[in-house]
Structure 1
Amino acid sequence: MTDPGGAIFSGLGFWATDMPSGASRPAGGQGFAMSSSEMRAMLKKATDLRLSIQQQRDAAQVLSQATPPAQEPASTDAVVGPNGVNETGRFYQGHLDYQYNYLSELITRLQKALGMVEAADQQAADGTNKTSGALE
């Protein structure tokens, strides 16, 4: 499983194509480029999906904590034995954790890329307001 520290997208950058020309792109040009509106749409989808995954993670918690219905070998093996219910539940939780970490990093990277665009947009808007105010 990949940790949330950044290994999933290691070496890949995210940038919006409608950023000012002075914005730096990732080294070697490796990464994801899209318009800021596309990034915002992807950010919304990723955020919604991460919320859904979190709800599944919460519900899956009980899947690894089952107790055998009876204290006899068949029930015990089916629940706590190899490939039993609890082991399968832990595997499923690990899979959900991986998806959650992937989406968390994607969201962070998109927000960072959008932050640069939104800061540039704000500067341009401020500049426009100052210019239009000077003409009036």
Structure 2
Amino acid sequence: MTGSIFSGIGFWATDMPSSGPPPAGGQGFAMSSADMRAMLEKAKTQRDALAEQLRAARYLMMASPPAEEPVSQAAVNGPNGVNEAGSYYEGHLHYQFNYLTELINRLQQALGITTAADQQAADSTKTIKGSLE
């Protein structure tokens, strides 16, 4: 995950054998699987709330000036105007959403959740391949 928010930082569930040992440098987060699962659920809940905010934020940058005169135009479309502020807010929400998405993915990997899904897909592929031969 080069260039990602958590690039070079590991996540370990201390009571799970599948997570492996931390690197020699010790860069990362280690916690019990119960704490990790609780954090995972909280992150998913926060990401769902952000998704709702993102839907609502789209309207914050589509304001129309109340009148066709310079002051109203500048207040809505000008620098630091309503539409620019709405665009900035939406961008900030996207940043938070991406952060939580990556955190969720890292926590799932540390807990073996993603690995289990990948293993199930691999097993299904083997089953399909075997039935076609």
The CA RMSD over aligned residues, in Å, is 2.2
Give the number of aligned pairs.
Answer: 115
Instruction: Tell me how far 1:23 sits from its aligned partner.
Output: 1.8
Give 1:82's aligned residue.
79
* Sequence identity percentage: 63
Give 2:46's aligned residue.
49
Q: Structure 2: which amino acid aligns with 1:82?
A: P
Q: Of the two structures, which has the highest relative contact order with CA contacts closer than 8 Å and spacing of 6 or more? A: 1
User: Scaled by the length of structure 1, what TM-score is found?
Assistant: 0.77
CA distance in structure 1 between the partners assigned to 2:10 and 2:19 by the alignment: 16
Task: State how 1:89-100 maps to structure 2 within 5 Å.
Answer: 89-100=86-97
Q: Structure 1: which amino acid aligns with 2:46?
A: L
Gap runs ≥5 in structure 1: 120-136
Instruction: Tell me how far 1:28 sits from its aligned partner.
Output: 1.7
CA distance in structure 1 between the partners assigned to 2:37 and 2:15 by the alignment: 13
8 A contact 1:17–1:33 mirrored in 2: yes
Gap runs ≥5 in structure 2: 117-133
Q: Structure 2: which amino acid aligns with 1:28?
A: G
Which of 28, 31, 54 is matched with 1:31 structurally? 28
Give 1:65's aligned residue.
62
CA distance in structure 1 between the partners assigned to 2:105 and 2:62 by the alignment: 32
Which of 11, 14, 24 is matched with 2:11 structurally? 14
SS in 2 for 1:28: coil
Instruction: Tell me how far 1:25 sits from its aligned partner.
Output: 2.3
User: Scaled by the length of structure 2, what TM-score is found?
Assistant: 0.79
Q: Decide whether aligned partners of structure 1 residues 27 and 57 sit closer, same or farther in structure 2, where only a CA change above 3 A counts.
A: farther
